[in-house]
Structure 1
Amino acid sequence: MSMSRVISHSLLPLTPPSTSSSSLSSSKPMISSFLRRNQVTYTRILHKGSRLTTRAAKGNLDNADGMLGPEESFKLDHSDKSMMPGSSGPLEASSKKEISFWSNKYVLGLTTTAGIGGLLFGYDTGVISGALLYIRDEFKAVNDNSVLQETIVSMAVVGAMIGAAAGGWVNDAYGRKKATLLADVLFIIGSFVMCIAPDPNILILGRLFVGVGVGIASVTAPVYIAEAAPSEIRGGLVATNVLMITGGQFLSYLVNLSFTEVPGTWRWMLGVAAIPAVVQFILMIFLPESPRWLYMKDKKSKAIAVLENIYDSDRLQEEIDQLADASNKDSQSGKTVSYFDVLKSKEIRLAFFTGAGLQAFQQFTGINTVMYYCPTIVQMAGFSSKQLALLLSLIVAAMNAVGTIIGILLIDKCGRRLLALASLSGVFTSLLILSYAFSLQPKTLGATLGSGAGWLAIVGLVLYIAFFSPGMGPVPWAVNSEIYPEAYRGVCGGMSATVNWISNFIVAQTFLSVVGLVGTRGTFLIFAGVSVLAFLFVLLFVPETKGLTFEQVERIWKERAGVLGMSASGGGQHLQGNEA
C-alpha cells in the first residue's frame, strides 16, 4: 500500500530514539494514538537534533499500529541541522519527486495564459511613454502642462489602485478565473475609449478603465499561478508572470516604433492593447479554476481533477492532503476574512508588512519612472529625435526582458533574499552613474546633456534595468504570492498590490515635478538613497521561502509572532521576530 509520510510541526516529549528494534517498537502505541487523536497527515517529531519520520496512510490511521515497523517506518537523521527546534528549514519528505520547470506542459500552459495579464500590465506601462510624445503634439493643452502629462500617465495607476484593492475581494469571492475575465473586459473597454478619445479628458477616462483592469490582473495572475505551481518551481513560474510584464513593455516599445509614421500614431499605440486582452479572455474560458480556491469552496472533485493534471500519482495524495489540512483550518475559523482582520492577527500583520514593504520599495527605487518616462529621459540625455528615443527605449525594454529570464532561472536556485539583495546593490550603483551623468546637465528641465554624458546616461539606464529585472522585478510578486495563509491570500495580495500601485502613482505623478525642483541628478540620487533602505529592509525582514510549501511558510510567521527576540537560522530563515 502507498503510504503518506507523517510529519508534525509539534515537539513530542519522547525519550531519545534508540537504534534498537525494541525501543522503536515501544514507541508505536504512543505514535499511532497521537495520529488517531489528531487526524493529521504530516507530523514531525524532533528530539535533540534527531528526526523521527513515520508513515501512515490518511484515512487508515486506526491501523497505524500494524503499519509501523522499525525498518520500514522510521528514519533517523542526525545531520539535518535545519530541523532543530525553532528552525524553519525545509520540511521536505525524502520520497518527494521534484518537478522540473519544463516537465509539465499543463502547468506551463496555465502560467502562460494567466501571464497575459502581466503582458497587459507591461504593455500599458511602456506604451504610454511613447504615445505621450505624440499626444503632446496633438493636444496643445497637454504639451503646455506637465501636470496634465503626469495625469495622463498616472490615471491608469489610479485605476490600478482601485482594481487591486477590489481585486483581492473579487478573487476570494468569485475565483481567480472570473477575476481574470473581468480584468480583460475592462482592458478592452479602456483600450477602445482611448483609441477614439477626442480630447484629453476622454483619454484620461480610458486610462482609468485600463488601470482598473490592470490592477485586478496584477493581483490575480501571481496568485493563480502560485496556487497551481509545485513548490519547487513556484518562484520561477510566478516570475514568468513578471517576464510577461517585461515582454509587454518590450512589445509596447516595438509597437511605438512601428507606428511612428502612421496617421493617428498614438491612437494605434493605445488601441492595439485590446488584442492580447481578447486572446486571454478566449483562452481563460477553457482553463480551470485554481485548485486551491476550488477546494476551499468545497468543490473538491473539481480541485482534484486539476491536481491530477499537475502531479503524478506518487505526489498527488500528498498535495490533496495538504489542501485538506488547509481547508480544515479555514473551516474551523468559521468566518470570512475582511481587510480589517489582517490587522488583528500578529502573524498576518508581519507577513503583510513584509509583502507590502517589498512592493513599495520596488516602486520607490524608480523602476516605473524609468519605464513610463524612458523616451523622455533619453531626450533629456540629449537625443532629441523621437524615433531614436523610442529605439533606445526599445533596447532598455529588451534588457528588462532578458534580465527577467535570468531571474526566472535563478529565483528557485539562489532564493528570493539573495537575488533581491544582489539586485539592489546593482541598482544603487546604476543610479549613482545616472545621477553623475545628469550632474553635467544644468538644473532646468529643458536642458540636455552633451553627447558623451548622454551616452553615459544611457549606460546607466541599461545597467539599472540589468540589475533590477532579475531581482527586484520578480521577487516582490513571487514573495507576495506565497507568504499569506490560504484564507488571507486574496485579501493580503490585493492590499499589497494596492501598496505597489499607490507607490507607483506617487512616483509617476511627481517625477517630472521633482526633476523641475531638484534636477534629474537629484531625482536619481533620491532613488539611490531609497535603494539602500530597501537593501536593509530585505536583509532584516524578508524570509527565504524557496522550495517551501504554503503551510511551511505560514509556520515562519507563527514563529516570528510567537518567539519574539529569538533568532534562529535554518534554510536561510532569519527569525528575529520583528514586529510590524
Structure 2
Amino acid sequence: MWAHRTGEFSMYKRMSPRDYTVVADVEDSSVVSHSIPDQETTNPSWRLSFPHVLAATISAFLFGYHLGVVNEPLESISFDLGFNGNTLAEGLVVSTCLGGALIGSLFSGWIADGIGRRRAFQLCALPMIVGASISATTTTLAGMLLGRLLVGTGMGLGPPVASLYVTEVSPPFVRGTYGSFIQIATCLGLMGALLFGIPVREIAGWWRICFWVSTVPAGILALSMMFCAESPHWLYKQGRTAEAEAEFERLLGGAHVKFAMQELSKLDRGDESDVVHFSELFYGRCFRGICIFILGYAPTDFVSMYILHFGIYSCYCHHQFVFSSLSSLLFSLGFVIHMFLLQLFLLGQPYLLYNSYLA
C-alpha cells in the first residue's frame, strides 16, 4: 500500500517543452483561470533541496576563510618569507586575492551559463586547491602572491554561482532563507580562519597548516558537486527538458514537477519576449535598479572591508579574535534578521532597505 502511494507521488507524465507552453497558455487565459488554480496548494519539502544548497554554500565559506586566513599569521608569514617590516609586501599578501576575485567574478556568469552550475563549482574549487597548496609550500614572496592570486580567482567565481544555484534549486517558500546561508557561510569562514590561526604564535610554521586546511572544504566542494543536482533552469535553457524534469523530481518531489515545469516555461517565454541588452545596465529601465543596488551594497561592502582591515590592524592586539569574530557574528546576525523579516512579515525589499539605514 505504501509503495503504491509512493509511486503515485513520484510518477508523472513527461511532457515536451511545447506541451508545457500550451498548458501555460491555457492557465493564463481568463476562461480557464477560475477552474485551474494559479499556484500549488502544498509546498514541496525543503529537505530534498537542503543538501544541494548546503554543498553550494561551501564556496561562500571558502570565500570568508581566505579573506581572513592571513590576518593572524601575517607577522609569521612575513618573517619566514623574508619581508618582515615591508608594509607594501604585507598589503599585497592580504589584497592580492581580492584582485583575483575581480578577475573570477567578471567571468563567473559566462562560465556558469556555458558549462553549467555544477562544473562551475568544480572549476572554482580547482584554483582554490592549487593556490592554497602553492601558498602553503612557498618559500618566497612571489610564490605567496601567486597562490593568493589563484585562490582569488576561485573566490570570485564561486559565490556568484552559489547565489544563482541556490535561487534555482530552492523551493519558492524557503528561497530567501536559503539565500541567507551564503552570507552566513561567509561569516563562518572568516571566523573559522581567525579561530584556526590562534596557535600561530606558539607553533612555528603553523601558517602553512592554515593554508593546507582550506584545501579540504575545496575538495569536498568539488566531490559533492558530482552528486548534487544540476540547475533545472540551466538544463531547460539548453533544451534538455527530460533532464530538467528529473532534477526537479530530486529537488521538489514528483508531485511538484509539472507545476515547476509550467512556471519555468512561463519564465522562459518572458525572457524571450522581453529582451534585455547589456547596455541597459548603464541607461534605460534597468539603470535605476542597478544604482539602488550599488548604493545599497556599497556601504555593506565597506563595513565588511572595515572588518577585514580591522583584523589586519589587530594583529598586534591580544584580543584580535574576539573583536573580529564579534564583528563577523553581528554582520551575520543582521543579515539573518533581514531575511527572517522578509520571509515572515513580507515587508518588501524597499521597506527593509530603508530601515537598514535607520539602524
2:128–2:215 contact (8 Å) kept in structure 1: yes
1:195–1:268 contact (8 Å) kept in structure 2: yes
Matched residue, 1:416: 349
Matched residue, 2:305: 368
State the Cα distance separating 1:130 from its structure 2 match.
Answer: 1.7
State the Cα distance separating 1:345 from its structure 2 match.
Answer: 7.8
Alpha carbons of structure 1 residues 168 and 195: separation in structure 2 relative to 1, 3 Å? same
Work out which of the residue numbers 164, 167, 179 in structure 2 matches 1:223. 164
User: Which deviates more, 342-351 or 289-298?
Assistant: 342-351
State the Cα distance separating 1:312 from its structure 2 match.
Answer: 4.9
Work out which of the residue numbers 131, 144, 165 in structure 2 matches 1:190. 131
Alpha carbons of structure 1 residues 357 and 250: separation in structure 2 relative to 1, 3 Å? same
Matched residue, 1:509: none
User: Which deviates more, 209-218 or 302-311?
Assistant: 302-311
CA distance in 2, matches of 1:133, 1:423: 37
Partner of 1:272: helix, strand, or coil?
helix
State the Cα distance separating 1:385 from its structure 2 match.
Answer: 4.3
Map of 1:132-531 to 2, 5 A cutoff? Answer: 132-139=74-81, 141-145=83-87, 147-312=88-253, 315-330=256-271, 340-343=278-281, 346-364=284-302, 366-370=303-307, 372-378=308-314, 384-386=316-318, 388-413=319-344, 414-426=347-359
Give the letter for the 2:133 counterpart: F
1:187–1:213 contact (8 Å) kept in structure 2: yes
CA distance in 1, matches of 2:244, 2:40: 23
Partner of 1:276: helix, strand, or coil?
helix
Q: With a CA cutoff of 8 Å and minimum separation of 6, indicate the structure with the bigger relative contact order.
A: 2
CA distance in 2, matches of 1:104, 1:332: 32
Map of 1:542-553 to 2, 5 A cutoff? Answer: none
CA distance in 2, matches of 1:404, 1:259: 31
Partner of 1:141: helix, strand, or coil?
coil
Alignment size in residue pairs: 337
Matched residue, 1:55: 32
Give the letter for the 1:368 counterpart: M
1:129–1:374 contact (8 Å) kept in structure 2: no
2:73–2:200 contact (8 Å) kept in structure 1: no
Partner of 2:208: helix, strand, or coil?
helix
| Structure 2 gap segments, 5+ residues each | 1-20
Give the letter for the 1:367 counterpart: S
What is the TM-score when the length of structure 2 is the normalising length?
A: 0.82
CA-to-aligned-CA distance 1:360-418 (integer Å, 9 cap, x gap): 34323x31221x22334446xxxx444x3234333433444444444443332244344
CA-to-aligned-CA distance 1:473-527 (integer Å, 9 cap, x gap): xxxxxxxxxxxxxxxxxxxxxxxxxxxxxxxxxxxxxxxxxxxxxxxxxxxxxxx
Partner of 1:310: helix, strand, or coil?
helix
CA distance in 1, matches of 2:134, 2:289: 39
Q: Does 1:43 align with 2:28?
A: yes
Matched residue, 1:107: 49
| Structure 1 gap segments, 5+ residues each | 1-34, 45-52, 57-71, 75-91, 427-580
CA-to-aligned-CA distance 1:71-100 (integer Å, 9 cap, x gap): x639xxxxxxxxxxxxxxxxx94654345x
Partner of 1:187: helix, strand, or coil?
helix
How large is the RMSD of aligned CA atoms in angstroms? 3.0
Alpha carbons of structure 1 residues 207 and 322: separation in structure 2 relative to 1, 3 Å? same
